[in-house]
Structure formats: C-alpha cells, structure tokens
C-alpha cells in the first residue's frame, strides 16, 4: 500500500553522500521533512528537479523543513552529483529500492523508479504527496505551498 496523506511516515535509515547514516526519526519534533524520491543521479529530469530544490533550499530551511533526496544510486554517485550541482541537502542511497518500496513510490510506467515527493510534518505525519514523472518544478512548488499552509495553521 502506498503511503498517503494522514499516514505516519515509515521510519528508515540510509547512507548519505557524506558516509553518515540518516534516519527519518532524527527529525521528529525538530523539522518537517520534504522527502523526494527520484530515479537517477545526473540525468536531465533528476538534475532539473534536484537543482529546483537547491534553488529554493533556503526557503525550505526558513520554513522549518529539511530536504532529503532518495534514489537507488550509491553514496559515491550522490557525492559526485551533489558536488557537480552544488546540492546543499542530503541525498540518500536506497540500494535495492527498499525504502522506495516501503513508501510505494515504485515504478513509473512500469519501467522506471517513480518521482514522488512527500511533505512530512514535525510529528512524522504525511501532509502531502506529489507524484509526477515530468513536472519537476511542481515537486518544489507544491512542497513549499504545503509547508506555508502548515505554518499558517
């Protein structure tokens, strides 16, 4: 079953591009999390999406959120991708797509890993899910809009 709005976001621990291990539970009670699953480092669509998150990263931080990207690429691949495009946020390596499957952010068109963004509040509850393979900017815009709505409550 895919994770949906109102669900508690499943916890996980994955290696980051800096060789640390990041767990979702580390953010509970501290920050909202914008968790985005993307297919592959350094491909045109994934680069456009990641750079859009990069360009709005300070806005996300000011809104009290941490941005985390997840793909099946290795930590080394993430390290190169982050350095090449000056990505300041965390990229996690989900070898075998276990976390992707846990969230239900599986295959687009039955062929490629999907492109899905989750906005998770400080309590660990999913507040928004955006699933679009081609609307790269929409992932960023919708996540920001959701965070602004949460702040207004």
46 included as an active-site residue: yes
Helices (H) and strands (E) in the chain, counts: 5, 9
Burial pattern 68-94, b for ≥16 Cβ within 10 A else e, equals bbbbbbebebbbebbeeeebebbbbbb
Q: Please identify which of the residues 3, 16, 34, 46 carries the catalytic annotation.
A: 46
DSSP-assigned letters across all residues of 14-58: EEBTTS-EEEGGGGTTT-EEEEEE-S-TTSHHHHHHHHHHHHTHH
List of residues 6+ apart from 42 with CB closer than 8 A? 77, 80, 81, 84
Active site residues: 46
């Amino acid at each position: 079953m895919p994770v949906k709005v109102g669900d508690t976001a499943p916890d996980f621990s994955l290696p980051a591009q800096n060789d640390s291990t990041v767990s979702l539970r580390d953010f509970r009670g501290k920050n909202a999390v914008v968790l985005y699953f993307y297919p592959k480092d350094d491909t045109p669509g994934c680069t456009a999406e990641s750079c859009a998150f990069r360009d709005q990263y300070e806005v996300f931080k000011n809104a009290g959120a941490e941005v985390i990207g997840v793909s099946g690429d290795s930590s080394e691949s993430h390290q190169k991708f982050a350095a090449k495009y000056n990505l300041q946020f965390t990229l996690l390596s989900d070898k075998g797509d276990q976390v992707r499957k846990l969230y239900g952010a599986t295959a687009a068109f039955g062929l490629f890993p999907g492109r899905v963004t989750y906005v998770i509040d400080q309590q660990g509850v999913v507040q928004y899910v955006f699933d679009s393979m081609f609307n790269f900017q929409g992932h960023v815009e919708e996540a920001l809009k959701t965070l602004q709505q949460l702040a207004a409550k």
